């Protein structure tokens, strides 16, 4: 039976979850954006007389995510007033509201065990017929719902959006073994005709298609960088528009994705493939491991790659100088 998608619930108010909500708002689809409730008050909240039971406090993560969307550049909205189409909430109080939606999108941390626990909670309030999908970039679609009912599995699939969702045309749709073919067909048509996406239906393999290719290309680039002793600037100069690619090239793209995210995606393939030659290609690069250990996991090295050597000051200057010296060292 065909299902009209008019309202969506998005669980996870991080960059991707919030941005997906924004793009849905762009095409007139309202959503509820859920995250975990906060457990501590800020000084500002105390001054306002709010408590841990106040909705403004419990929904803080989602509220702040919606606020960030309106300040983001490039803007995820066609018009900022569309932010009114997103309602903030939290999973402790508002998960039962998914009974009112046509599609539930999970966009939480890339951890299979945590996702499994969430899907268990979702199924407890899920209405059969409601689509449920994961925005995972590589966690197995089958693995996440193997403990769920057949009916739930039949309506479950992957919808891997790319950042930023408003501007990136590609959408990977990944069925599990039991997903109904007619649901994949309907979602493909909806994504193409309503969301303006170019859909690729992928198999449930590690990192699917785009991230498998993209991760491979970046790791090869890093190894060639080491081999020829190239700098960050030199690599970006030859791997951007000169090759018909975006000006973000290699390292600006890595900065946008997040170093910790990239490391996770690459390691996902490394751990799950059996072919030894392929495994060697996806083996962790020592340089990236060292950069994560020096703070990239938290700060994602933002601006360390983005700004020129002479334009940064203080701790960021020291970090950039270290990166520059390491990439020039062929023993890395």
How far apart are the C-alpha atoms of 108 and 116, rounded to whole Å? 11
* pLDDT reported for residue 325: 53
Are 120 and 112 spatial neighbours (Cβ–Cβ below 8 Å)?
A: no
Q: How far is CA 91 from CA 15, 101, 122, 123, 172, in A?
A: 18, 15, 10, 13, 26
CA 252: distance to chain centroid?
A: 17
**Domain extents in the chain:** 7-201, 210-327
pLDDT along the chain (332 residues), means of 10: 87 96 98 95 95 96 97 94 98 96 96 95 97 94 97 98 93 98 97 97 95 90 87 88 88 76 84 87 79 53 41 44 49 42
Are 222 and 236 spatial neighbours (Cβ–Cβ below 8 Å)?
A: no
Are 262 and 254 spatial neighbours (Cβ–Cβ below 8 Å)?
A: yes
* pLDDT reported for residue 156: 98
Tokens of 328: 């020039």
* pLDDT reported for residue 181: 97
Q: Which CATH number fits domain 7-201: 3.30.460.10, 3.40.50.720, 3.30.710.10, 1.10.10.60?
A: 3.40.50.720
* pLDDT reported for residue 303: 45
* pLDDT reported for residue 65: 97
Q: How far is CA 153 from CA 129, 160, 178, 332, in A?
A: 11, 17, 6, 45
Tokens of 25: 């708002």
């Amino acid at each position: 039976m065909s299902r009209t998608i008019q309202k969506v619930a998005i669980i996870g108010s991080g960059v991707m979850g919030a941005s997906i909500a924004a793009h849905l708002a762009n095409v007139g689809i309202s959503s509820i954006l859920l995250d975990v409730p906060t457990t501590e008050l800020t000084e500002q909240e105390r001054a306002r007389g709010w408590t841990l039971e106040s909705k403004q406090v419990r929904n803080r993560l989602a509220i702040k995510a919606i606020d960030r969307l309106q300040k983001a550049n490039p803007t995820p909205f066609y018009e900022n007033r569309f932010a009114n189409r997103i309602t903030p909430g939290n999973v402790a109080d508002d998960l039962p509201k998914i009974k009112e939606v046509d599609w539930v999108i999970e966009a939480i941390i890339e951890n299979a065990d945590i996702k499994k626990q969430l899907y268990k909670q979702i199924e407890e309030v899920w209405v059969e017929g409601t689509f449920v999908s994961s925005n995972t970039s590589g966690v197995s679609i089958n693995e996440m719902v193997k403990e769920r009912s057949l009916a739930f599995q039949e309506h479950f699939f992957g919808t891997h959006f790319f950042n930023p969702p408003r501007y990136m045309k590609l959408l990977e749709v990944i069925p599990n073994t039991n997903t109904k073919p007619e649901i994949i067909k309907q979602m493909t048509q909806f994504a193409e005709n309503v969301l303006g996406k170019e859909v690729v239906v992928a198999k449930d393999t590690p990192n699917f298609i785009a991230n498998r290719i993209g991760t491979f290309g970046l790791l090869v680039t890093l190894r060639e960088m080491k081999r020829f002793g190239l700098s960050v600037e030199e690599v970006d100069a030859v791997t951007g528009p000169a090759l018909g690619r975006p000006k973000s090239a290699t390292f600006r793209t890595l900065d946008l994705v997040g170093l910790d995210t990239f490391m996770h995606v690459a390691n996902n393939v490394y751990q799950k493939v059996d072919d030894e030659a392929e495994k060697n290609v996806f083996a962790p690069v020592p340089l990236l491991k060292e950069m994560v250990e020096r703070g990239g996991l938290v700060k994602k090295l933002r601006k360390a790659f983005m700004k020129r050597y002479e334009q940064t000051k203080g701790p960021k200057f020291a970090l950039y100088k270290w990166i520059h010296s390491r990439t020039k060292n062929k023993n890395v």
